[in-house]
Copies of this chain bind each other. A is one copy, B any other.
Amino acid sequence: MSSPEEQAYCLLTEYAHGFMVSQVLFAACELGVFDLLAEAPEPLGAVAVAARLGTSSHGMELLLDTCVSLKLLQAETRRGKALYQNTELSSTYLVRASPKYQGNMLRYLARTTYLCWGHLAQAVRDGRNQYPEAFGVPSDELFTAIYRSEGERLQFMRALEDVWSISGRHVLAAFDLSPFPLICDVGGDFFKDPLPEADLYILARVLHDWTDTRCSHLLARVHRACKPGGGILVIESLLDADGRGPLTTQLYSLNMVVQTEGRERTPAQYHALLAPAGFQDIQCRRTGGIYDAILARR
Q: Bin the interface of chain A by size.
A: 35 or more
A115 surroundings in chain B (CB, below 8 A):
118
From B1, B24, B89, B120, A12 is in contact (CB under 8 Å) with B89
A246 surroundings in chain B (CB, below 8 A):
69
Q: How far is the CB of A264 from chain B (nearest CB, A)?
A: 9
The interface bits of chain A over 83-94 (1 if a CB of B lies within 8 angstroms of the residue's CB, else 0) are 000001100111
Asked if B17 and A55 make an inter-chain contact with CB atoms under 8 angstroms apart, the answer reads no
Asked if A5 and B77 make an inter-chain contact with CB atoms under 8 angstroms apart, the answer reads no
A247, B102: Cα distance in complex, Å = 24
- Asked if A63 meets B124 with Cβ closer than 8 Å, knowing A4-B88, A20-B255, A23-B118, the reply is yes
A102 surroundings in chain B (CB, below 8 A):
12, 16
Give 4 A-B pairs besides A16-B105, A19-B23, A115-B118 with Cβ atoms closer than 8 angstroms.
A17-B18, A58-B257, A63-B124, A77-B242
Query: What are 29 A-B interface contacts by the 8 Å CB criterion?
Result: A1-B288, A1-B289, A4-B88, A5-B88, A8-B88, A8-B92, A9-B93, A11-B71, A12-B93, A15-B21, A15-B72, A17-B251, A18-B19, A19-B23, A20-B255, A26-B120, A31-B124, A31-B125, A56-B127, A58-B127, A59-B254, A62-B243, A62-B253, A63-B254, A66-B247, A68-B244, A69-B244, A70-B247, A115-B118
Report A's interface with B, CB cutoff 8 A: 1, 4-5, 8-9, 11-13, 15-27, 30-31, 54-63, 65-66, 68-72, 75, 77, 82, 88-89, 92-94, 102, 105-106, 109, 114-115, 117-118, 120-121, 123-128, 166, 242-248, 250-251, 253-255, 257, 263, 288-290
